[in-house]
Amino acid sequence: MKNQEIISSLGQTRDSFYLYDQRAILDRIQTLREDFPGVSFLYSIKCNPHPQVLKTIFGAGFGADAASLGEVELASALGLSGQSIQFSAPGKSDAALEGAWDKAVITADSLNEVRRLADLARRRGTPVKIGLRVNPSFGFDGPDGLPSKFGMDEDQLLAAVPWLRQEPHLQIVGLHIHLKSQERRSEVLLAYYKNCLSVALELQAALGCELAFINLGSGIGIPYGPEDAPLDTKALGQGLARLWRKGQRLFPKATLYLETGRFLTGPSGVYVTKVLDKKVSRGKTFLILQNTLNGFLRPSVARLIESYAGEGDLIGTEPLFTQRDAFRFLPIPCREETEVVTLAGNLCTGADVMARDCHLPRMEPGDLVVVTNAGSYGAVLSPMQFSSQVPPQELFLTAEGQILE
Ligand SMILES: Cc1ncc(COP(=O)(O)O)c(C=O)c1O
């Protein structure tokens, strides 16, 4: 196991913690840089806003995909220019629009928000350059667009173009489309990118402007389960480069962006929790761990889904739930003898079960369980105040081997 000695040593004085590995993040940045020539990247802060993670990723030249004023401010405080921060989210308050005004490119999520931005620009006496989030008339992997709380339906946007063109305080400079996270089929992503560029071309022509950016959103998936093949980023990057060679003639002023969160941080972080107790009840062996549902929510949510959702398709549950077998549980020490155990937490709810009836190396109180794929949507999604437990620490392992708290 990677970093096993470091984890063992950290576990001597802690009952639960996250460990983010800078070297792993840097390696994944390098992969994207090599595999996607001509593409600029934004980091989706929402998946892991740990200060050292942000410093690492922004320090490597990524811009920011910010989903709140708080995230705009995090990126801005780390020195990112307004041009490098894209603020795109549904339902922005007046305070959020005003606060982000000089710190980010604001991407409007509805026609109502476009109107509010135009009013605000009028009151401030300066025109504003904005992006538009589009809900296209195609689906992610099918021909038809779906109703969505995100963005503006393409046909509604086209119908609003005469007004947008006349509005003196508005300048439309870019488009943002994001329909789905966690896709590992490069050909599906490529077809989606192609469709997005067609929409961009249509809107650019209708708006009578030259777009400064086209943001194709995320979608870049990672393997979670043991059977999952990784996304072929090389093939995807080559395909996108081919599309963009043509695109550059059609969008001569545009920067092409992809957003990503989990690709950089998901596999670069682990969650570690200590076995506090072991008991047998009516023939079942339970290991009681520190901070399960409240420390790292996603494995427990997967078990809940397993209990209640049956085998049906689970659409729209990201990032809370990806799939049933998304995490591995690696004990330290790793004994040869195995046993069937349930990994439960120390909360007063039966819902905090990370793994049920699974074969694992035998564990005893004081041992550690390392949970994989915990670097994204881990600490941020977990209800750490529940039950007033001491929350897990978030630790950062620098490329030089130093631990930062
Ligand atoms: C608009 C948008 N962009 C980017 C992301 C990041 O997705 P991922 O972490 O899968 O890269 C999300 C995730 O919810 C999103 O909603």
Q: How high is the pLDDT of residue 307? A: 82
Q: Residue-wise over 151-186: b if at least 16 C-beta within 10 A, else e?
A: bbbbeebbebeeebeebebbebbbbbbbbbbbbbbb
Q: Cα separation of 46 and 258, whole Å?
A: 15
- C-alpha 85 – ligand 1 centre gap (Å): 15
For ligand 1, atom 10, the nearest C-alpha belongs to 181
Tens-digit pLDDT profile for residues 199-211 = 999 999 999 999 9
Fold matches, 22-266 and 267-404 = no
Mean pLDDT over 165-188 rounds to 97
Measured from the Cα of 217, ligand 1's closest atom is: 3
62 within 8 A of 29, measured Cβ to Cβ: yes
- C-alpha 93 – ligand 1 centre gap (Å): 21
Q: Cα separation of 367 and 251, whole Å?
A: 57
Share of the chain above pLDDT 70, in %: 99
| Number of C-beta neighbours around residue 242 at 10 A | 12
305 within 8 A of 356, measured Cβ to Cβ: no
Q: How high is the pLDDT of residue 308? A: 81
Measured from the Cα of 181, ligand 1's closest atom is: 10
Measured from the Cα of 47, ligand 1's closest atom is: 9
Mean pLDDT over 3-21 rounds to 98
Taking CA atoms, 159 is separated from 94, 164, 207, 210, in Å, by 25, 10, 11, 19
**Mean pLDDT computed over every residue of the chain:** 96
Indicate the burial class of 342 (C-beta count within 10 angstroms; 0-12, 13-18, 19 or more).
middle
Taking CA atoms, 262 is separated from 46, 224, 227, 322, in Å, by 10, 11, 19, 12
Residue 217 has pLDDT above 80, yes or no: yes
Residue 173 has pLDDT above 70, yes or no: yes
Residue to substitute in 29, 44, 183 for testing ligand 1 pocket (most ligand atoms within 8 angstroms of CB): 44
Measured on CA atoms in the order 217, 27, 52, 263, is the torsion positive or negative? positive
Tens-digit pLDDT profile for residues 313-327 = 777 789 999 988 899
Tens-digit pLDDT profile for residues 86-137 = 999 999 999 999 999 999 999 999 999 999 999 999 999 999 999 999 999 9
| Number of C-beta neighbours around residue 335 at 10 A | 13
| Residue 384: DSSP 8-state | T
CATH topology for 22-266 is TIM Barrel (3.20.20)
| Bridge partners of residue 108, in order along the sequence | 132
- C-alpha 183 – ligand 1 centre gap (Å): 11
Mean pLDDT over 281-299 rounds to 97
User: For the chain, which residues make up each domain, given as ranges?
Assistant: 22-266, 267-404
Residue 15 has pLDDT above 70, yes or no: yes
What CATH class does 267-404 carry?
mainly beta
- C-alpha 392 – ligand 1 centre gap (Å): 24
Share of the chain above pLDDT 90, in %: 94
Say if strands 170-176 and 16-21 run parallel, antiparallel, or are unpaired: unpaired
Mean pLDDT over 258-277 rounds to 98
Tens-digit pLDDT profile for residues 329-352 = 999 999 999 999 999 999 999 999
Residue 311 has pLDDT above 70, yes or no: no
Ligand 1 pocket by Cβ (under 6 Å) = 44, 47, 65, 178, 181-182, 217-218, 220, 259-263, 319, 376
- The candidate with the shortest Cα–Cα distance to 216, out of 240, 182, 249, is 240
In this prediction, residue 164 has a pLDDT band, given cuts at 50, 70 and 90, of: very high
Q: What is the separation of C-alpha 157 from the centre of its chain, rounded to a whole number of angstroms? A: 27
Residue 276 has pLDDT above 90, yes or no: yes
Residue 324: helix, strand or coil by DSSP?
Answer: coil
| Residue 379: DSSP 8-state | G
Q: How high is the pLDDT of residue 142? A: 84
